[in-house]
C-alpha cells in the first residue's frame, strides 16, 4: 500500500500544512503498513524536493513542467491526476489550504474518487482509515469513511497535526514527467498581489482582545476597544465583523486573515468557526466570553465565561482601570 | 446572461442540534433553518450582475426535501426569476460527488453561462460542490471569489489567497464560481418581492441515481482534550475571578 502526499510551495519552502500532512501520512503508514511518497512541482520543485528528502519517506516524486510554474487550477489538477495514475497510491493527502480547495475537487471529479476534506484526525481500525471532520461550524464532530476502491483524496485542517512531529530521514528523489498542454488550462491568471493590511501586525502582539459577531452591532465595538486599551492589548476580530464593515480587514484573525499566537487571546462573542480557530489555536492562553454555552470556542479555551459580553466587559474594563 | 445560483438550506447558527439516538444525524424536527451564508452572497452577486447588464435570468437551484422551498421562496422574493428544486431526502448526505451529479443532471439542459455557489455550507462544510460541478460540466472554475467583473464572453474574478494575498483570474464562459462571504451586501426581500415570489415557477425535478463514494459513520459532540476552567458566579464575581486568572495564572501583569 502506498500513500502519496501532495506538497504545496510557499515561496520555495514546503507549505506548513504540507509538513503537517507528512505527520498524518507517517501515522497512517504505521497503522496500515504503507510506504510514503511526496510529490513536488512548480517553479521551486528542486528546492522543495531537497527539503522533502530530509523526512522519513520512501521517495520524493518531482515534476518539472513550465506549465506548472504558475498556479492554475486546471494545470495543477491535471498534474496531480496524472501522477496519481502513475504512482497508484491508496491514499492521497493534502493540507486543506486555499489552493487545495481551488483545485483538488477537480482531481476528485476527473478520477471520480472521493475527496474527504478538512479532517482534524484519523483513526485506524480493522485495516482501514476513518477520518474525523468537524460539522455545523465545529459544533459537532463526524466520522467519515471513503467507499469503494481508492485512491481516496484526503485533506487535513491546518494544525490538525504538529509539523514538529514529522519524523526525519532520507528519501530518494525521482523525477517523473507528465503530459500537459496549454489548451488544458481554461483560465488566465495574473500575478498574486498583497493588499496593504493597514500596518497592523497582530502576529507580534503579546495580548489580543478579539471581537466576534456576538458584540451585536458596530456601535458596541468601543466596548471591546476600551478593554483592549485597559489591558494594553491589540484589537482583533473574526471575519463576520470585518464582512459587516465594523472593523477594517487588517484586524481579522483566521484562515483569510492573520495567524496569531499571543500570550493571551481574549475572545469576546466569538463562536469559534473553523476558519477563525485555525488562526488563533496556537495562542498560549485562550479566554472566551460568550453567552452561548455550546459555542465551539469553549472547546479550545483555557478559561471560559458564559456571560453576555455587553454586560460583563464594561465592568471588567472598569475594574482593570 | 443566464446565471444559476446554488442555494442550500442549513441550520441557523443559534439552532439546537440534538443528535439522534442512532448517532447518524441530528434530529431535524428540532432544527431551525436559514439560507447558507455564502449562498446568500452568491445570490446577491448574481442579482447585481443581472441588474447592471439590464438583461438575463437568475435561476435558483436547490437540493433537499420539501422544507427547502422556504429558502427557495426567499431567493425568489429577493429577485431570482425562477427555481429548480431537486427534491430528495438528504439526511446525512455527505458525498459531494453525488451532490454534484444531482446538480449536473438538473443543470445540463439549461445551458447556463455562469454557475454561482457559496464557498461552503455551514452544515457539513465539504466546500467543493461548485468546483466539482464545473469540472464535471467541462467549465472553467474558480473558488474563493471576492469580486467579479463580467466581460464579453468571460468573467474576471478576484480570488482570495492566504494571508492577505489576492489574484485576478479570467475565465471564459461558461464558468462555475464559488463565492466567498463578504463580497457585497445581500438585500432583504421587499414586500413587493415577497408577493411576486408566490407567482414564480419552482420546477420540481427527481434526482438521478448516484452511488455515494463517502459516507457518514456517526456524529458526536466534540471531544476536547483541553481542560477548560469555567468561571462562574455573579457578574462581579466573574470579573474578580477573571482578573485573578490574568494576574496569577496567565501572568499578564
Which CATH number is correct for A202-320, 3.40.50.1220, 3.40.50.880, 3.30.70.260, 3.40.50.261?
3.40.50.1220
**Residue B180 corresponds to which cell in the numbers above?**
466567498
Mean pLDDT, rounded, for A222-231: 95
A101 pLDDT higher than 70 = yes
Per-residue pLDDT reduced to its tens digit, B192-232: 999 999 999 999 999 999 899 999 999 999 877 778 999 99
Cβ separation of A311 and B235 shorter than 8 Å? yes
Spatial distance between the Cα atoms of B123 and B7, rounded to a whole number of angstroms: 13
Percent with pLDDT over 90 in chain B: 89
Q: Do A186 and B214 touch (CB under 8 A)?
A: no
For A204, residues 6+ apart whose C-beta sits below 8 A from its C-beta are none
- Rounded to whole angstroms, how far apart are CA atoms A3 and B186? 44
Give the predicted TM-score (pTM) of the model.
0.87
DSSP-based three-state secondary structure for B235:
helix
Q: What is the mean pLDDT of residues B149-157?
A: 96
ipTM of predicted complex? 0.91
A298 contacts in B (CB within 8 Å)? Answer: 228
Rounded to 10°, the helix B235-244/A309-320 angle is: 50
Beta carbons of A120 and A90 less than 8 angstroms apart: no
Report pLDDT digits (tens) over A81-95: 999 999 999 999 999
Q: What is the pLDDT of residue A125?
A: 87
Using the predicted structure, report yes or no on whether residue B168 has a pLDDT greater than 90: yes
Residue range A123-137: mean pLDDT, rounded = 92
Inspect the interface and report whether the beta carbons of A142 and B211 lie closer than 8 Å: no
Residue that wins the pLDDT comparison between A34 and A249 = A34
What is the predicted pLDDT for the residue at A197? Answer: 58
The predicted-structure confidence for A278-308, as pLDDT tens digits, reads as follows: 889 889 999 999 999 989 999 899 999 999 9
Coil, helix or strand for A6?
strand
Grid cell digits, residue A275: 476558519
Q: Give the pLDDT mean for B50-60.
A: 97
- Rounded to whole angstroms, the Cα distance separating B48 from B35 reads 18
Query: What grid cell was written down for A14?
Result: 514546503
The CATH number for A2-184, chosen from 1.10.10.920, 3.40.50.620, 3.40.140.10, 2.160.10.10, is: 3.40.50.620
Place of cell 523525477: A175
Sequence-distant (≥ 6) Cβ neighbours of residue B244 within 8 angstroms: none
State the cell numbers at B222.
466534540
Chain A residues touching B215 at Cβ < 8 A: 144-145, 147
Q: Which residues of B21-41 are buried (b: 16+ CB within 10 A; e: fewer)?
A: eeeebbeeeebebbbbbbbbb
Per the CB < 8 Å rule, is B213 touching A112?
yes
pLDDT of residue B185: 92
Contacts of B209 (CB under 8 A, 6+ apart): none
Contacts A117 to B, Cβ<8 Å:
125-128
CA dihedral A296, A297, A303, A307 (to 10 degrees): -90
Average pLDDT of the segment spanning B16-44: 95
Please state which CATH class domain B2-205 belongs to.
alpha beta
Cβ–Cβ under 8 Å, residues B56 and B40: no
Alpha carbons B140 and B131: distance in angstroms, whole number:
9
Task: Report the C-alpha gap between B232 and B240 in whole angstroms.
Answer: 10
User: Which of B10, B100, B126, B237 to mutate to test binding with chain A, by most A CBs within 10 Å of its CB?
Assistant: B126
pLDDT exceeds cutoff 70 at A72:
yes
Closest CA to B136 of A110, A186, A114: A110
With 70 as the cut, is the pLDDT of residue A199 above it? no
Query: How many CB pairs below 8 Å do chains A and B form together?
Result: 232
Q: Quick check: do A2-184 and A202-320 share a fold? A: yes
Amino acid at each position: 500500500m502506498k500513500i502519496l502526499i501532495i506538497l504545496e510551495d510557499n515561496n520555495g519552502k514546503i507549505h506548513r500544512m504540507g509538513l503537517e500532512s507528512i505527520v498524518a501520512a507517517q501515522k497512517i503508514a504505521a497503522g496500515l503498513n504503507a510506504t510514503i511518497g511526496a510529490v513536488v512541482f512548480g517553479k521551486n520543485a528542486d528546492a522543495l524536493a531537497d527539503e522533502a528528502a530530509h523526512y522519513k519517506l520512501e521517495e520524493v516524486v518531482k515534476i518539472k513542467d513550465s506549465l506548472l510554474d504558475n498556479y492554475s487550477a486546471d494545470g495543477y489538477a491535471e498534474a496531480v491526476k496524472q501522477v496519481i495514475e502513475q504512482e497508484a497510491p491508496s491514499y492521497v493527502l493534502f493540507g486543506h489550504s486555499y489552493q487545495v480547495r481551488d483545485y483538488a475537487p477537480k482531481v476528485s471529479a476527473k478520477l471520480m474518487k472521493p475527496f474527504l476534506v478538512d479532517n482534524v484526525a484519523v483513526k485506524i481500525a480493522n485495516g482501514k482509515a476513518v477520518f474525523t471532520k468537524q460539522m455545523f461550524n465545529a459544533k459537532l464532530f463526524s466520522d467519515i469513511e471513503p467507499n469503494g476502491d481508492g485512491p481516496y483524496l484526503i485533506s487535513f485542517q491546518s494544525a490538525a497535526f504538529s509539523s514538529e512531529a514529522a519524523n526525519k530521514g532520507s528519501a530518494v528523489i525521482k523525477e517523473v514527467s507528465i503530459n500537459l498542454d496549454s489548451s488544458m488550462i481554461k483560465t488566465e491568471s495574473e500575478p498574486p498581489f498583497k493588499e496593504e493590511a493597514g500596518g497592523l501586525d497582530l502576529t507580534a502582539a503579546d495580548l489580543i482582545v478579539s471581537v466576534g459577531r456576538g458584540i451585536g452591532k458596530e456601535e458596541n465595538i468601543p466596548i471591546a476597544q476600551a478593554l483592549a486599551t485597559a489591558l494594553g492589548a491589540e484589537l482583533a476580530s473574526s471575519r463576520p465583523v470585518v464582512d459587516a464593515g465594523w472593523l477594517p480587514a487588517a484586524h481579522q484573525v483566521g484562515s483569510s486573515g492573520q495567524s496569531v499566537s499571543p500570550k493571551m487571546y481574549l475572545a469576546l462573542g466569538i463562536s469559534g468557526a473553523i476558519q477563525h480557530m485555525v488562526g488563533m489555536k496556537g495562542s498560549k492562553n485562550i479566554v472566551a466570553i460568550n453567552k452561548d454555552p455550546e459555542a465551539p470556542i469553549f472547546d479550545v479555551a483555557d478559561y471560559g465565561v458564559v456571560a453576555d459580553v455587553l454586560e460583563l466587559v464594561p465592568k471588567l474594563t472598569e475594574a482593570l482601570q | 446572461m443566464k446565471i444559476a445560483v446554488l442555494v442550500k438550506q442549513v441550520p441557523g447558527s443559534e439552532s439546537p442540534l440534538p443528535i439522534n439516538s442512532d448517532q447518524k444525524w441530528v434530529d431535524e424536527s428540532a432544527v431551525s433553518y436559514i439560507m447558507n451564508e455564502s449562498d446568500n452572497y452568491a445570490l446577491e452577486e448574481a442579482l447585481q450582475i443581472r441588474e447592471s447588464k439590464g438583461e438575463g435570468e437568475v435561476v435558483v437551484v436547490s437540493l433537499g426535501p420539501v422544507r427547502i422551498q422556504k429558502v427557495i421562496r426567499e431567493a425568489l422574493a429577493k429577485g431570482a426569476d425562477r427555481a429548480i428544486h431537486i427534491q430528495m431526502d438528504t439526511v446525512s448526505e455527505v458525498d459531494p460527488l453525488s451532490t454534484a451529479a444531482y446538480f449536473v443532471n438538473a443543470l445540463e439542459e439549461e445551458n447556463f453561462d455562469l454557475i454561482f455557489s457559496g464557498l461552503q455550507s455551514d452544515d457539513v462544510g465539504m466546500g467543493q460542490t461548485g468546483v466539482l460541478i464545473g469540472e464535471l460540466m467541462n467549465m472553467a472554475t474558480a473558488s474563493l471569489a471576492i469580486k467579479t467583473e463580467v466581460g464579453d464572453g468571460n468573467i474576471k474574478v478576484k480570488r482570495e489567497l492566504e494571508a492577505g494575498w489576492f489574484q485576478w483570474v479570467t475565465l471564459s464562459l461558461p464558468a462555475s464560481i464559488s463565492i466567498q462571504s463578504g463580497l457585497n451586501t445581500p438585500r432583504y426581500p421587499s414586500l413587493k418581492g415577497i408577493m411576486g415570489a408566490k407567482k414564480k415557477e419552482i420546477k420540481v425535478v427527481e434526482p438521478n441515481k448516484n452511488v455515494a463514494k463517502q459516507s457518514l459513520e456517526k456524529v458526536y459532540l466534540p471531544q476536547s482534550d483541553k481542560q477548560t476552567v469555567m468561571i462562574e458566579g455573579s457578574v462581579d464575581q466573574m470579573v474578580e475571578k477573571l482578573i485573578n486568572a490574568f494576574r496569577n495564572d496567565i501572568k499578564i501583569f
